[in-house]
């Protein structure tokens, strides 16, 4: 895809969102079914992923770990955003790799230590790109990718999560 094709693809959407701002508010949804043992089946739109406990919390390693899925979502979003930004500012990326690593202290997750945090303490996002981009272009690529990556922005800015619990009784 080149810059013209990207602009042609996005221009009608941008126009619509300017004219009808409410049409730009979209609610994305995910749903999982509580499974056997300690697992949850999540439909991703392309397949069903069964998530379970990480081996560090007693899992077998046979099911997906939701922490890994969070990092995978970050890598996917950052990779797609990077490509769109590169196309828009006409930076040629021949190939590349996006990696995310996150540090967890499982003492927090397992309730072994109240001082240990539950959740990632640090996440590192790394891009290795085969490109002839100048230093100035790389700076723009970094700035714009971070600015427009939904998952990156959500993680770095934080977001309020409202929870509700409903109970139904099975017979």
Band (45; pLDDT cuts 50, 70, 90): confident
On whether both 69 and 151 belong to a single domain, the answer is: yes
Q: Taking 80 as the threshold, does the pLDDT of residue 36 lie above it?
A: no
Contacts of 42 (CB under 8 A, 6+ apart): 30, 31, 32, 48, 49, 50, 51, 69
Where a domain ends, among 8, 41, 64? Answer: 64
On whether both 52 and 128 belong to a single domain, the answer is: no
Tokens of 89: 């500012």
Alpha helices in 20-162 (DSSP H): 66-88, 106-109, 135-148, 150-157
| Segment 99-104 mean pLDDT | 91
On whether both 47 and 119 belong to a single domain, the answer is: no
On whether both 94 and 142 belong to a single domain, the answer is: yes
As beta bridge partners, residue 40 has 34, 51
- Contact yes or no for 75/98 (Cβ under 8 A): yes
Centroid of chain to Cα 122: 15
Provide the pLDDT for residue 117: 87
CATH number at residue 120: 3.30.300.20
Q: Which of 17-21, 44-48, 134-138 has the lowest mean pLDDT?
A: 44-48
pTM: 0.84
Within a domain: residue 91?
Answer: yes
On whether both 54 and 112 belong to a single domain, the answer is: no
CA distance 39 to 2: 43
On whether both 56 and 81 belong to a single domain, the answer is: no
On whether both 149 and 75 belong to a single domain, the answer is: yes
Within a domain: residue 2?
Answer: no
Within a domain: residue 83?
Answer: yes
Within a domain: residue 24?
Answer: no
On whether both 91 and 145 belong to a single domain, the answer is: yes
Tokens of 120: 């990632």
Candidates 171, 95, 93, 170; CA nearest to 138 is: 93
Higher pLDDT, 148 or 35: 148
Within a domain: residue 4?
Answer: no
Average pLDDT, the chain: 89
On whether both 117 and 149 belong to a single domain, the answer is: yes
On whether both 128 and 58 belong to a single domain, the answer is: no
Number of domains in the chain: 2
Band (34; pLDDT cuts 50, 70, 90): low
Where a domain ends, among 64, 87, 111? Answer: 64
Domain of residue 44: give its range: 30-64
On whether both 141 and 71 belong to a single domain, the answer is: yes
């Amino acid at each position: 895809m080149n810059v013209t094709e990207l602009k042609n693809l996005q221009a009608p959407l941008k126009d619509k969102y300017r004219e009808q701002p409410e049409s730009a508010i979209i609610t994305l949804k995910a749903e999982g079914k509580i499974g056997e043992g300690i697992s949850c089946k999540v439909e991703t739109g392309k397949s069903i992923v069964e998530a379970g406990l990480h081996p560090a919390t007693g899992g077998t390693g046979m099911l997906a770990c939701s922490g890994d899925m969070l990092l995978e979502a970050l890598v996917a979003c950052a990779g797609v955003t990077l490509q769109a930004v590169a196309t828009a500012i006409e930076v040629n990326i021949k190939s590349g790799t996006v990696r995310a690593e996150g540090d967890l202290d499982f003492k927090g997750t397992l309730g072994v230590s109240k001082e240990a945090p539950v959740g990632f303490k640090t996440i590192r996002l790394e891009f290795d790109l085969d490109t002839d981009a100048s230093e100035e272009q790389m700076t723009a690529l970094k700035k714009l990718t971070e600015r427009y990556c939904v998952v990156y922005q959500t993680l770095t800015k934080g977001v309020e999560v409202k929870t509700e619990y409903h109970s139904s009784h099975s017979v």
